[in-house]
């Protein structure tokens, strides 16, 4: 049981880290697009 838990935790952790990186990159992309639109409008 301990081995299975140790084997499962890294995969879950990596998936969470990947999701977090994707979320951060998506928010940064949206933010940059908004800034560009504001610069064009202004």
Every domain of the chain and the residues it spans: 1-37
pLDDT, one tens digit per residue, over 1-42 is 566 555 666 788 889 899 999 999 999 999 999 999 999 997
Q: Which two tokens stand for residue 27?
A: 């928010």
Q: Which two tokens stand for residue 18?
A: 């990947």
Tell me how far apart the alpha carbons of residues 36 and 4 are, in angstroms, rounded to a whole number.
Answer: 48
Model pLDDT, residue 8: 64
Model pLDDT, residue 12: 82
């Amino acid at each position: 049981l301990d081995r299975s838990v140790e084997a499962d935790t890294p995969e879950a952790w990596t998936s969470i880290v990947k999701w977090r990186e994707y979320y951060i990159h998506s928010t940064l992309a949206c933010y940059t697009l908004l800034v560009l639109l504001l610069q064009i409008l202004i």
